[in-house]
Amino acid sequence: MYWYILMVAILGLVTFLFIKVSRPAGPCLRVLMYHKVSGNGERDFLTVTADQLSTQWKYLKSEGYSPILFSDLVQFVQQGKALPPKPVLLTFDDGYKDNYEVMYPILQHLGMKANIFLVPGYLKQQMHSSDGVYLDLSEIRIMKSSLVEFGLHSYDHQSYKTLSPEALQLDIRKTADWLSAQGIPFQPCIAFPYGAYPKKNPVKYKRFTEALEKSGMVLAFRIGNRLNAMPLKKPLLVQRLDIRGDDSFEDFVRLVKKGKAVF
C-alpha cells in the first residue's frame, strides 16, 4: 500500500509539472490556425463554417483578446515594440478563395485582423483555372493592408522536413520573388507546410533554423497546439492552435484558454 501511494503521488507530481511546462503562467501569445471557411454550413477538419467563425471571433472580443498582424509581431521581436493586451494572431493557410468571399466580410464586420500564408503554386493554378478554389490576385489586392497581411507557405506546398538547407533557401527565395513580381506585399513570416520540420535531429534542426535566418525570416510557425510564452524564446518555432471545423465551441474555448494538455 505504501508503494502504491508513493507511485500515485509521484505520477501526480509529474503530471502537474508537465502541465505547468506546457501552459505558460505569465503573458502569452495565442496563434490560431485556420484553413477554409464555408458559407453553406459544410464543415470538416480543415473547414469552419461562417457561423462558427463569427461565434469564435465574438468570443475572442468578449474575452478581451486583441487581434494583431504579422508586422506587429515582427516589430515586437525586432524592436521590442509593445503588443496590445492578450494578443492573438489569426492565421489562414494556403490562400483559399473563401478567405476573401466568406472570411473577409466577417472580419470587416467584427473589426478583426487576419494573416494569410500564401503558396505561389496554388495562386498560379488559380490564374489558369476557373474552379474558384484559391484566391485571385485581384482579391488579394482588394483586402485592406490594415486588416489583412500575408506571409509565406512555401512555393508549392512541399514538406520542409527533408529539404537540405540550400533547397530550403531556394524555396523561400522563389516564393518571395514570385510574390514580389506580382506586387503582393508580404511579411518575413513563414509557416511550415504540414507543420513539418526536422525536429528529431538537433544538427539538422540547427541548420534548418540557420537557413531560415539567412533567408530573412523573422518568424516561423509550426502547429504544436500550445500557447507561446512571452517574450518569444524561439521566434522561428512559434506554435499554433489548430482550429478544426469538426470540433465543438467548447473545444475551441478550451484550446484558446489553455492550449492542448499534455495528457
Cβ contact 158:122 at 8 Å: no
Q: What is the pLDDT of residues 89-127, one digit of tens each?
A: 999 999 999 999 999 999 999 999 999 999 999 999 999
CA distances from 170 to 154, 157, 167, 181, 190 (A): 10, 14, 5, 16, 14
Measured CA to CA, the distance from residue 172 to residue 59 in angstroms comes to: 36
- Provide φ and ψ at 195, rounded to 5°: 70, 15
Predicted structure pTM score: 0.90
Closest CA to 30 of 211, 168, 210, 227: 227
Q: What is the pLDDT of residues 144-177, one digit of tens each?
A: 999 999 999 999 999 999 999 999 999 999 999 9
User: Using CB atoms within 10 A of its CB, is residue 111 exposed (0-12), middle (13-18) or buried (19+)?
Assistant: exposed
pLDDT for the residue 21: 46
pLDDT for the residue 130: 84
The distance in angstroms from the start CA to the end CA of the chain is 26
For 214, other C-beta atoms within 10 Å of its C-beta total: 12
Cβ contact 151:189 at 8 Å: yes
Outline where the chain has alpha helix (H): 2-22, 50-62, 70-79, 98, 104-110, 120-127, 137-142, 165-181, 202-214, 249-258
pLDDT for the residue 262: 54
pLDDT beneath 50: ranges in the chain: 1, 4, 6, 8-9, 11-12, 14-21, 263
